[in-house]
Structure 1
Amino acid sequence: MTAPSLESLVADARNALGTPADRIGPRTDAAPRFELFNGPNSICSQKVRAVLAQHQIPYLSHSMDMFAGQTYLPPYVRLRMHGCDSLGGPLMEVHTGSTSVSHGGCDPAVVPTLVDWQTRQVIVDSKRICLYLDAEIEPSRQLRPRHLEDLIDAQLGIVDNLPNYQMLGGKPPGIDTRPASQHGKTGIELARGKVARCERYLAEYPDDPTMVRAYSAKRAKELTAAERLFGVDAMRAAYDKAESACADLEQLLRGRSTEWLLDDRFTMADLYWAIELLRMQNLGAQSFWTNGKRPAVASFAERVRSLPPLRSAILDWPGANF
């Protein structure tokens, strides 16, 4: 059986969403090189959109409703699997609370997914996409300059492995400070809803090896999330981990001799931390640094709110906040 072309994979994913793409960024006569499938309130999508905005790269944006299950639509999963398979690693079957592909494998039913029409690649994993886009820019403007690669990568690793999924879906220790729309939710029902979606599609595509592999892995992942991630002890550990990271950031900010976190120019480390702090604030976790608790983090969090890439990709992006 002949493998579907990239054109047909993308066309099927577009048609499944049923809405036209938005053209984002500087206007040119040529069709944009990049096409991005993303979720407004997906923190991983926000990172990619912020890099695109920082570099003023035009692209086509397909906005996907994660809570309505659009990332589980079979044509999108088939496109996503094309990207997962190109990585050569496993699919993620155990949910660690991290969104990092390097910690467990590729998830076939999440965003973002980037299509590069010039190189004809489907690229998955937000960190990989961000670095891929940044490498296309002239060195003097890159967010990950060569002489700072190791320091930047260390910070990206910290942020990439913070428990955002647990903090979004699970009940915080003590008072529930999340937005009103999240009150009463424990995370377990969210994960079990995803398990049910996978089971529905497994029943629909029993003879399709690609779909069986994708939905089986996703079902296993979300089942472990429901069983392990949202208990009282697990949520306490998640919030402790997030606050500890903020404490380390406070020390790093206080000890720096540069305008930004690692350099006098804004880097990918600043961008990742900025988006993380915006997400924590959106989820009501700003107590990690407010009321004089961590003044350097508080100052950084306030400063980045005025940055144009953060405003256009997150703060002013429709549906980006809960």
Structure 2
Amino acid sequence: MTIDLETAVANARAQLSTPTELIGRPTGAKARFELFHAPNSICSQKVRAVLAHHEMAYVSNSMSIVAGDTYLPDYVRLRMLACDLEGLPLASLHTGSTAVATGGCDPAVVPTLVDWSAGKVVIDSKRICIYLDDLSDRPLKLRPDDLAQEIDKELDLVDSLPNYQMLVGGTPDSHRYGASPRAGTGVNFAMNKVARCDRYLADFPDDETLQRGYHAKRAKELSAAEQLFSPQAMLAAYERAEAACDLLEQTLARRGAGWLFGSELSMADLFWAIELLRMKNLGADKFWADGLRPHVADYIRRSEEAGAIRSAVLDWPGAIH
């Protein structure tokens, strides 16, 4: 652990209006992990679910996406530290996916995990979840070695789904797909992010790190406003999400088990459950309603009873709205 990391985390923490909170019971004098996250962030929910499943204690730094907390300069500096140390290119084009593997490193999103024992920052929800699972001393892993490749295929599929577009874009056919509560706000939502970047670029003209971070983020959100929310793009997004649900239906029917990989919950189940709950919250449960995809409907009902899902999403204040 370096003083640079301590300072970076302390500065990022100090800029938030919400106090830190200890979640769980640490085994030592203090919690090993510290998490910067947002209640309604689908990527944050995945990480909270893994932490809950493994009963890992952590210091919680709750952030507001609407208020622009993820754009605060000291938080962006913390993210940039991780992007640069891992040699990850900055994301400057919005693909609609949240995955670092396909989009690059975003300096203004959540979640961000700090492992104080290792003295490092871990970013990207999939990377964080696998990192935590590998560290768990519980006998049953969420991503056991013999199933890792198959589970990773499911994680990548879920990570590629267009939940950003579905959250704020216009529903292409409300009768067929339901109507998102925020439908049609996509362009304005993205352009508000562009404006935030412009303000910080003007405020920190001589800060090379922030200039790189905000320029990349600005380009990414501008591309989102220009490309992701047209009627054609939204129709393609919903069709892609429905095709994924159809594939899940076939997989569940073929395997005939309680979960995707047998009787035990896996990381793939956590990722899928959180994605499906987001769809349900947006009104896109028409993908499986009225007997259309009965195995998916049963899978969601079962997922809603899982302790990690309840703790990280359903019972977490502000996660579902």
* TM-score class normalised by the smaller sequence: over 0.9
In the other structure, the counterpart of 1:128 is 127
Cα distance in 1 for partners of 2:147, 2:26 equals 32
CA contact (8 A) 2:190 2:225 kept: yes
Cα distance in 2 for partners of 1:254, 1:112 equals 33
Cα distance in 2 for partners of 1:259, 1:18 equals 42
Letter in 2 for 1:98: S
Q: How much has 1:24 moved relative to structure 2? A: 0.6
Q: Given the alignment of the two structures, is residue 198 of structure 1 paired with residue 197 of structure 2, yes or no?
A: yes
C-alpha distance 233-104 of structure 1, shift in aligned 2 (>3 A): same
C-alpha RMSD over aligned residues: 1.4
In the other structure, the counterpart of 1:146 is 145
Q: Name stretches of at least 5 consecutive residues in structure 1 with no aligned partner.
A: none
Cα distance in 2 for partners of 1:218, 1:11 equals 23
Q: How much has 1:29 moved relative to structure 2? A: 5.5
Q: Given the alignment of the two structures, is residue 48 of structure 1 paired with residue 44 of structure 2, yes or no?
A: no
Q: TM-score, normalised by structure 1?
A: 0.96
Q: Given the alignment of the two structures, is residue 177 of structure 1 paired with residue 178 of structure 2, yes or no?
A: yes
Q: How much has 1:260 moved relative to structure 2? A: 1.5
Cα distance in 2 for partners of 1:247, 1:113 equals 32
In the other structure, the counterpart of 2:70 is 71
CA contact (8 A) 2:26 2:58 kept: no
Give runs of aligned pairs for residues 262-273 of structure 1, distance below 5 A: 262-273=261-272
Cα deviation, 1:230-252, whole Å, max 9, x if unaligned, reads 00000000000000000000000
Q: Name stretches of at least 5 consecutive residues in structure 2 with no aligned partner.
A: none
Give runs of aligned pairs for residues 1-322 of structure 1, distance below 5 A: 5-26=4-25, 28=27, 30-138=29-137, 140-175=139-174, 177-178=178-179, 180=181, 182-183=182-183, 185-322=184-321
- Report percent identity of matched pairs: 57
Letter in 2 for 1:146: D
Letter in 1 for 2:231: V
Which secondary structure does the structure 2 equivalent of 1:102 belong to?
helix
Which ranges of 4 or more aligned residues in structure 1 deviate by more than 3 Å?
Answer: 176-180
CA contact (8 A) 2:26 2:32 kept: no
Q: How much has 1:86 moved relative to structure 2? A: 2.0
Cα deviation, 1:278-306, whole Å, max 9, x if unaligned, reads 11101110000010000000000111101
Cα distance in 1 for partners of 2:76, 2:297 equals 39
Which secondary structure does the structure 1 equivalent of 2:128 belong to?
helix
Letter in 2 for 1:133: L
Letter in 1 for 2:87: G
Cα distance in 1 for partners of 2:83, 2:140 equals 29
CA contact (8 A) 1:139 1:145 kept: no
Q: How much has 1:178 moved relative to structure 2? A: 4.0
Q: How much has 1:89 moved relative to structure 2? A: 1.9
Q: When the two structures are aligned, how many residues end up with a matched partner?
A: 318
Q: How much has 1:174 moved relative to structure 2? A: 2.1
Cα distance in 2 for partners of 1:225, 1:4 equals 37
Q: TM-score, normalised by structure 2?
A: 0.96
Cα deviation, 1:106-133, whole Å, max 9, x if unaligned, reads 0000000000000010110000000000
